Structure 1
Amino acid sequence: MGAADDERKPLLESVKCTTPPVATKTGKNKRLPGDQLSKKERSKLLKQFYDDQDDLKKCFELDLKSLDDENRQAHINEYTAASEQKAKSDKILAAVIFVVNVVLLLTNLTASILSGSYSVISAFIDSSMDITSGFIIYVSLWAISNTNRFNYPRGRNRLEVIAVIISSVIMAITNIMMILTSVQAIVADNVDPDLNLPTILLLSTGISSKIILMIACYKNGTTISKLLALDQRNDAITNVVAFVGAFVGDHYWKYADPIGAILVCTFIATSWFSNAFEHLPILTGRRAEKEHIGRILNIALTHDDRIKFLDHILVYHIGEKELVELHIVLDENLPLRTTHDIAETLEFKIRGLEFVERVFVHVDYRCDGREDGC
């Protein structure tokens, strides 16, 4: 155990809450949230806190090294090149998946006709929606890479998130409609699945291809590729459940087939609605992650000794990346040129962070606490 762990050991072992109880208006002591935690939970949370601090310290060291005057441009060029390469990979993956989905659409259509299974039909509907979502994503990527900079001076990168939300809503609503159809089939007793050998082969081919594409998408790691990976994962699961539902419905209990379709569609609808709600906050100005704010604060505090105070900082999402508003306080007697140079170089440094899209540094001579700088 290292020296740092030795320093933490007393804290990790100490789980007794030393904070005095808070008295309420009725005179009774109010229990604090930490009082409800067990010894194991407190130790786990305290260890997680120190691990997070270690990770943040490593980020600080990396930022100081990569964002200084000598290395900043090389660092920016490096991650810009990596981003462009991933964008190209996104386009290739989207095109490949689109072609594969067209082929699987035909195979699932054939399997649906041969089997008459509601579970297999749900897989066919999923495949048809895959083509729709794939087309939306491909168009958004094309629009981003072919932006008219006169009409869109800051680009159209937020189309990426909008495409994710649109695709998620379309997929979810379509599967809700299939759930209603399956329920109607059960009520009307209109169920007669037939899982034959051609259907089994077609479904097996679809499952295998989706698993391979899912692995390829997850390895790329971008927002678009993660969306595509989620789509491939859902397809693999739906095809497996469709196969099981059709098999059980054909050989044992016929209602297992529409119930399988309901399970498939419920899973897909829930997954896509969850994905949409996850991306909505970053279009509406959600606060940035604590680690990102900490890294920006560290850069500002260590940038120049003539920065007397940091009045306030706002870091929030404007899409996948973040906007930074920072107010710094300098001596009122500094020349304008010096003040400008300090603020501008600080902007350059912060803009070098891979998660930052825009930076506004406001300079003041006193702390006024006003977010708009007026």
Structure 2
Amino acid sequence: MLLASGKQRKVSEYYKKQERLLEGYNEMEAMTESGCFPGKQTEDELKQLAKSERLAVNISNGANLLLFTAKVYASIGSKSLAVIASTLDSLLDLLSGFILWFTSYAMKKPNHYQQYPIGKKRMQPVGIIVFASIMATLGLQILLESGRQLIAKRGPEMNKGAGEMDDYHYGFFGLATAVLAVRYYWWIDPTGAIIIALYTINTWTRTVFKNVWSLIGRTAPPEFLAKLTYLIWNHHKEIKQIDTVRAYSFGNYYFVEVDIVLPGDMVLNRAYNIGEDLQEKLEQLPEVERAFVHIDFEFSHRPKHRSKV
């Protein structure tokens, strides 16, 4: 029964992948016919979207600030490790919002022609990595302190009035463990702090790995490469062969490298126009930051690019 269920799940996932692939082909077909990515937003729509995003960010930051203030009050009143861990998490949420705002602001000033010729879009993943490392380190510190208290079989000197904070209905896990520790067993508080710390470490460690992978040039998924190949092949009737299609992450977006084969007797200006039009078309894709189109007249040679060890 379980084996049959597993097979059905795999078959279902296969067909879902095929549906997504067909949807991608349809998008590329529409892009080939119209010359632009389907559903591309106008400048006014982009401005309205940016305005809505700023409003949402401001509301989120305001809510986080109120939440942080309430947790600071609870931490001072209870001296609970679990509440302190939850307060630290709220503080770091505020700091993460500031870091994302700062990196977004810096990315809007690319300074193309001086120190940063390809822009500053890598600032966001770098900022996230630094911040996530700090988060994981602080979570580890709380984990160690909670473990020390459990080993010593001695809880923190918690204020007995912490039990009254149940009336505030914050609904926080850290506050709940603090209240339970006061009313029942002292070890509930460091145990709750350990759970919060483990959650914090796990969440931000995964965030670090995700952003590191995006910076070290991880390849795009096969479905995306198939979409690119479909778009390239249907770009122009003079394209005889596709030698290479590469897409790799370099931050939040992909860099794309394409080698196409054109007739050897084609005049330079026509070959150049075909390559440039293809580059511009590829860079219209929302996942692509930059595209490099290399033109050749044969495909029997080895790739010219050699990695330096």
Query: TM-score normalized by structure 2?
Result: 0.86
Deviation at 1:46, TM superposition (A): 3.5
Instruction: Find 2:136's aligned residue among 172, 175, 178.
Output: 172
Q: 1:353 matched to which residue of 2?
A: 285
Q: 1:48 matched to which residue of 2?
A: 13
Deviation at 1:40, TM superposition (A): 4.5
State the SS of the aligned residue for 2:234.
Answer: helix
Q: Distance in 2 between matches of 1:56 and 1:313?
A: 17
Deviation larger for 273-282 or 163-172 = 163-172
State the SS of the aligned residue for 2:120.
Answer: coil
Counterpart amino acid of residue 181 in structure 1:
E
Counterpart amino acid of residue 63 in structure 1:
M
Counterpart amino acid of residue 143 in structure 1:
A
Q: 2:36 matched to which residue of 1?
A: 72
Counterpart amino acid of residue 323 in structure 1:
F
Shift in alpha-carbon separation, 1:91–1:143, aligned structure 2, 3 A: farther
Instruction: Find 1:102's aligned residue among 56, 65, 73.
Output: 65
Counterpart amino acid of residue 313 in structure 1:
V
Deviation at 1:373, TM superposition (A): 6.3
Instruction: Find 1:191's aligned residue among 135, 156, 164.
Output: 156
Q: Which runs of 5+ in 1 are unaligned?
A: 1-36, 208-238
- Alignment length (residue pairs): 302
Q: Which runs of 5+ in 2 are unaligned?
A: none
Q: Distance in 2 between matches of 1:75 and 1:267?
A: 39
Deviation larger for 274-283 or 38-47 = 38-47
8 A contact 1:312–1:326 mirrored in 2? yes
Deviation at 1:319, TM superposition (A): 1.1
Map of 1:83-122 to 2, 5 A cutoff? 86-122=49-85
Q: Does 1:261 align with 2:224?
A: no
State the SS of the aligned residue for 1:303.
Answer: coil
Map of 1:159-308 to 2, 5 A cutoff? 159-186=123-150, 187=152, 189-193=154-158, 194=160, 196=162, 199-202=165-168, 204-205=169-170, 239-240=172-173, 242-308=174-240
Shift in alpha-carbon separation, 1:201–1:102, aligned structure 2, 3 A: farther
Instruction: Find 1:311's aligned residue among 233, 243, 246.
Output: 243
State the SS of the aligned residue for 1:72.
Answer: coil
Query: TM-score normalized by structure 1?
Result: 0.72
Deviation larger for 108-117 or 296-305 = 108-117
Q: 1:10 matched to which residue of 2?
A: none
Q: Distance in 2 between matches of 1:337 and 1:116?
A: 74
Give me the CA root mean square deviation. 2.7
